[in-house]
Every structure is written in structure tokens, then in C-alpha cells.
Amino acid sequence: MSPAPLKMEGRVVVLQQRPPTPPPSAPSPDPRSGFDAASRTFHSLRPNVSLPLPDRPLSFLAYVLSLLPCPLPSHPALVDAATGHAISFADLLSRVRSLAAALRSRIGLAKGHVVFILAPAGLDVPALYLALLSIGAVISAANPASTPAEIAHLVSLSDPRIAFARSDSAGKLPRHVAAVLLDSPRFRSLFDGDGEEVVEEEVEQSNVAVIQYSSGTTGMVKAAALSHRNFIAMVAGFHATREPKAEVFLLGAPLFHSMGFFFLLKALALGETTVVMGGRGGVKQMLQAAERYRVTAMTAAPPVVVAMAKWPEPLDLEALEHITCGGAPLPEASAVRFMRRFPRVELRQGYGSTEGGGISRMICKEECRRVRSAGRLSHNVEAKLVDNATGERLSIGQTGELWVRSPFVMLGYVGNEQANAITFDANGWLKTGDLCYFDEDGFLHVVGRLKELIKYKAYQVPPAELEHLLQCLPGIADAAVVPYPDEEAGQIPMALVVPQPGSNLSEIEIMDLIAKQVAPYKKIRKVVFTNYIPKTPSGKILRAALRNHAVFNSLSRL
């Protein structure tokens, strides 16, 4: 089904329903690869997970309550990594109920109202998230490190009724946005309850739950609307494959980030203890928290995994069983180095997006050995690979743009029908913009971004493929590949390389080593050494920033 139009009316997200698309005929996928030759689509090799009937009113919080045991778990729900302060599940839910009632009666929030949140991670933020979801309000969280101009743009996209922010970041909000300070007596008083009656709000699964912002690394930031059902569907798969014992989960990703937001909700729904970093410190503080609280699982962006593999000091991570790594590609050499240092820890790589949710992941030690892949398709996900030039559906081992369809896929972009028309086809397939292929065992391999292809003569060269090869070379700490103008070829692949200390690799040696591993049109034809590669906190190369890179600019002036 193509996405329903999303627009803002009086600071309420309005969802206009469209008639459903008739269901496709039953597929017959190959049990090894998941490929259905008749429809030329790939299907998840995981067992299908049953979901609540879509027309049943059900907020995400109500779904969480249906999963939690009775009596509630006795271990903490949340722990502040810096202070050790903990909140039990009973106290958390009590705080959520009091806050939900106060948000309606004292703040005036109602179903569909958008609430902008600008704050680092802290123990109050999960309660605020759950309270807003329970009353049908829409969460729109952003990075408090953003500039006032960036925040103004996000506010213009989501048009919030009110904002919640800390006193050190509230000044970045546009003047017309009223704000409640999270570190103020007024906010603290909202947890008091004051005997207010809790009135349950009927929330449909199709209602907008969250507005998240696409990364903007390759284009303008857009506001993606996700429903309560999107999160219910994703959590259902983790619940079906949950560990028999309760985990102590270290949340390394920020709570405003799509990955951090989801894994927080997942951990609470599965009754896990979540150790919240609170935005204080870097890798060292994360590792200290992992040791101190004997965490069994954690999320980690690729830069954290790389740092752990090279950490110069002894680490006591005996309790750690698995790490979920996502947000950007992890170099194969770094994955291998990590597995050698921590042979007992499963390095579970995955692939997803703000728009498409958790598309693929690894779930066991056997799958984790496929370090060059992003795992297998998640439950209830179907995919196809499309040749961007001909529109032909491709098969196993062929590279094309990945299209996906699942209950995780966003409703659409708010107020941007042009982007929706480009992103979705008439049958509800989400075009990811990523170039991928599936191997014969159903593992997804991400080659690069369609928009980032280097056009060398009549050939298309994916930078990510060359970056992976460069990062595997001894003597190279990091690398990025960008298009460089060439009068004859149009563009040539140019490598920006960060050498390791003491490395003697020359430009010619690097080009020769890569040339031996790729087709002639993919060869790197220029190498420049630099001190750093600009990246997002999750490890994605900032392609737009590379265009302003000092090295690139100096070359452009030659």
C-alpha cells in the first residue's frame, strides 16, 4: 500500500487513509536463500511473527504492558550509568501514569499533538516518551547539540505544540515554541500526580507515534512519521527470539537517534535493565559502565567497535554476550580484530533506516561469522533488488537498489508528497536508495548508496566497496572515496586516506594494491593523505562535508 498523505493541521498530524492494496499471491521462496523465483522477491528466513489485528486500538505502551510479566520484574528498569541511580519497573510505570495525566490536564496535550524534545539521555526521558505515547501525542526528538538554525528547520517540519528541553539547550529553540524545562521544579511537579484521574486514551495502531528525522547526509533533512504499529511490529520480533534470562542492556546510542529510541523501547518491553549513558563521555565511559554494571548486551556504533578492538588497556567484559552494531558499515578488518579479542562475544551486525526500520540483522553466533554481511532479513520483511536503469528485478548475487515492504516501514514524510512519491511505489515498496545484493544463504550485503555512485565514463563505481578494500589494507587507519572531476572520464575515484602512525605506504602503492582487487573501471586513480574523515556519531561518512574538506578544496584550486 502506498503511504497515506501526512500533513499538519493545528499542530496535529493528520493521516488520510487510502484503500488497501490487494494481497499478493502466496510466495514459494527457496528455503536457503529466501528468493522466490516466480515473483523475483526475497523473503525472510525467520518464522513469521504474529501481530495484533491492525484495526484493534492499541498504543505502544499498552502493547508493552501486555508483554511484561505479572508481577513486574524485580530488577531495575533503568540505571543512570554515571550516578548509579536506578528506577524499578513499578516506579517507572507509576511515573508514566502520573506524567500522562499531568500532560493532559496541566499542559493541555491531546492525541495527535506533536511534542519536540531537545535533551540528552536521562532517566526522565524514557518516562516522558512512554507518557506521550500513552496519550497518543507524537514524539519528535532531536540532537541537543544541533545549532539553532538546524533546530529551527526541524521545528518547521514537525510544527510542535510544545517543547521539552533542558535549560542549557532551550535557548536554541525558536521563540514561538513554548518550552517546559526538564531540569525545573515545574517539570518535577508533573510526576506528583495530585490525585488526578488517569483516563485511558484510545489510540489506533495506525496513529502517528513518532516523527524522526532522516540523517540528511546525502540531501535535505525530512520528517519521517512512524506509527505505533511500526514499533509494535519491530518489538514483536525481538520478543519472539528473546533470551531466556533478563539482560542488562547498555544503551550506547542516543535516545533521539532512531536506533537508540527503538532499542530503549525494546528493552523496556522485554523487561530488561537498561543502563543509560546520559550523553556523558565517550568510549572510555561506555566501557567503564559495561564493566561496572556487568552488562550482557549493548548497542555500539562502528567507531565504538573499532575502538574496543584496539583498546590498549585490559577490559573485564566477562558478562558481555553480544553487541548490536549498526548505523554505518563496519570494516571487515575491524570486525575480525574485535572477534579475535572478544571470541565469546557475538558481534551482531544489522541494517536499517529511519524510514524502513530494522530491515536485517544477525541473531546467533553462526550468523555473526558472516562479517561482510548485514545479516538476514528480519521477520515479516520482504525485499527485492531493482536495476536502477532498467527497472528489472534482480536475482541472487546481482546488485541493485534494495526495495522493502514490511510492517516496520514508515507511514511517510510529513508534508512532503513529492518525496513520498519518489520514495514509494504504488504497491507500498519503500525504495531505500541503497545498492545491495543477497548471497545464496540469504545474507544481505550493502554495497553503497545509489546517489553516491561515481560515474566513471559509462560505468558506475560504488565508493563503499573501495572504502572497504582500503580499510583492510595494513597501514591505513581510515579512508573515504569521492568523485573527482576529470575532463576525459567525467569523474574518477579519489581516495582520502588516513595513514596509521609509522606507515610508509605511498600513493602509488595504494593504487596498485586496490587495482589488483577490482575491475579496471573501479581503480582508484588519485590518492590524498589527510588527518581525518568527517563522520556522524554513528560512523557514517559525511559525504556533504567531504565536499568542503580542506584537502579536497586545495585540490580543486589547482
Q: List pLDDT tens digits, range 166-222.
A: 999 999 999 999 999 999 999 999 998 754 555 667 999 999 999 999 854 345 789
Pairing of strands 162-165, 76-80: unpaired
Strand ranges for 488-552 from DSSP E: 490-499, 526-529
CATH code: domain of residue 531: 3.30.300.30
Tell me if 333 is assigned to some domain: no
Give the 3-state DSSP-derived string for 276-290, with helices as H, strands as E and coil as C.
Answer: ECCCCCCHHHHHHHH
pLDDT of the chain, 558 residues: tens digit per residue: 445 557 666 566 665 544 444 444 567 899 999 999 999 999 999 999 999 999 999 999 999 999 999 999 999 999 999 899 999 999 999 999 999 999 999 999 999 999 999 998 899 999 999 999 999 999 999 989 888 988 999 999 999 999 999 999 999 999 999 999 999 999 999 998 754 555 667 999 999 999 999 854 345 789 999 999 999 999 999 999 988 888 999 998 889 989 999 999 999 999 999 999 976 568 899 999 999 999 999 999 888 898 899 898 899 999 999 999 987 778 888 899 999 999 999 999 999 999 999 999 999 999 999 999 999 999 999 999 999 889 999 999 999 999 999 999 999 999 999 999 999 999 999 999 999 999 999 999 998 888 887 888 767 788 888 998 998 899 999 999 988 888 778 789 999 999 999 999 999 999 999 999 988 889 999 999 998 898 876 778 887 677 666 555 555 444
Neighbours of 85 (CB within 10 A): 13
Distance CA 189, CA 384 (A): 51
Tell me if 329 is assigned to some domain: no
Separation of CA 170 from chain center: 25
Tell me if 315 is assigned to some domain: no
Tell me if residue 263 falls in helix, strand or coil. helix
Q: Where are the alpha helices (DSSP H) in 55-159?
A: 60-67, 89-105, 124-134, 148-158
Identity of the amino acid at 369: R
Domain that holds residue 473: 453-556
Distance CA 317, CA 296 (A): 9
Look at the block and give the residue holding cell 499538519.
8
Tell me if 525 is assigned to some domain: yes
Distance CA 306, CA 332 (A): 10
Minimal CA–CA distance to 241: which of 43, 46, 450? 46
Q: Where are the alpha helices (DSSP H) in 10-147?
A: 60-67, 89-105, 124-134
CATH code: domain of residue 136: 3.40.50.12780
- The DSSP code for 393 is B
Residue that finishes a domain, picked among 300, 333, 362: 300
Tell me if residue 47 falls in helix, strand or coil. coil
Residue that finishes a domain, picked among 300, 317, 342: 300
Separation of CA 268 from chain center: 18
Tell me if 32 is assigned to some domain: no
Neighbours of 6 (CB within 10 A): 23
Residue that finishes a domain, picked among 240, 273, 300: 300
Tell me if residue 498 falls in helix, strand or coil. strand
Give the chain's domain count.
2
- Helix, strand, coil % in the chain, rounded to nearest 5: 30, 25, 45
Tell me if 203 is assigned to some domain: yes
Distance CA 489, CA 472 (A): 27
Task: Extract the C-alpha cell encoding 370.
Answer: 558472516
Distance CA 409, CA 30 (A): 24
pTM of the full structure: 0.85
Look at the block and give the residue holding cell 492525541.
111
Q: CA distances (Å), 305 to each of 8, 41, 81, 443, in order?
A: 40, 33, 19, 21
pLDDT digits (tens, 9 = 90+) for 403-453: 999 999 999 999 999 999 999 999 999 999 999 999 999 999 998 888 887
Tell me the sheet residues that pair with 213. 223
Tell me the sheet residues that pair with 352. 358
- Length of the chain measured in residues: 558
Tell me if 360 is assigned to some domain: no
Residue 168: predicted pLDDT: 92
Residue 280: predicted pLDDT: 59
Contact, 200 vs 104, CB < 8 A? no
Residue 204: predicted pLDDT: 96
Identity of the amino acid at 373: S
Contact, 307 vs 325, CB < 8 A? no
Tell me if 251 is assigned to some domain: yes
